[in-house]
């Protein structure tokens, strides 16, 4: 099970350390999070992981299941510059999304965008705030990695 040093509260953003990138979820209480996943979603390919799917499904699942063996932490990093919605409103809005499919795109509509929209009323992503070459390089890297994943998928079907 993933390690954690904090006690999440309803409405908190949960950052899960994955091998390739971070996964984000919204803590709703009683051990549950709401997050996006390609499990159960109609994707343009059936074989790509949640990072590259064109559509993802919003699910409510136990944090322990979503995190698995990966480390996770509460990370409300945008609280420094944004005021969160009231907790009851965050949870109410999040619950409305459960079971729906939403578009997903690594640099433009990712899991962090989804949960920050619920907490702050605006989609935020670390690269959105960075004007440095590191932020640009990360965004370009994500786009290139997505293109490579699609190319590999197409070539493997030939």
Q: Which of 21, 35, 42, 111 is catalytic?
A: 111
Q: What angle do CA 69, 125, 97 make, to 5 degrees?
A: 70
31 CB-near residues (< 8 Å, 6+ apart) = 62, 63, 64
42 is catalytic: no
Distances (CA, A) of 150 to 36, 52, 92: 20, 8, 36
Q: CB of 142 within 8 A of CB of 134?
A: no
* Dihedral sign for Cα atoms in the order 98, 84, 1, 49: positive
Q: Which of 23, 35, 42, 113 is catalytic?
A: 23
23 is catalytic: yes
By annotation, the residues acting in catalysis are 23, 111
């Amino acid at each position: 099970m993933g390690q954690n040093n904090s006690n999440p509260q309803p409405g908190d953003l949960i950052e899960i350390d994955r091998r390739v990138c971070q996964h984000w979820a919204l803590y709703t209480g009683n051990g549950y999070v709401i997050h996006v996943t390609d499990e159960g979603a109609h994707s343009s390919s059936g074989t790509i992981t949640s990072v590259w799917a064109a559509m993802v499904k919003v699910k409510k699942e136990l944090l322990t299941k979503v995190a698995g063996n990966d480390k996770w932490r509460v990370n409300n990093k945008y609280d420094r510059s944004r005021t969160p919605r009231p907790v009851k409103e965050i949870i109410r809005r999040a619950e409305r999304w459960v079971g729906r499919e939403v578009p997903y795109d690594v640099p433009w509509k990712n899991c962090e965008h989804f949960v920050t929209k619920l907490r702050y009323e605006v989609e935020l992503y670390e690269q959105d705030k960075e004007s440095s070459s590191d932020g640009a390089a990360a965004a370009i890297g994500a786009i290139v990695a997505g293109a490579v994943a699609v190319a590999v998928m197409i070539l493997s079907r030939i």
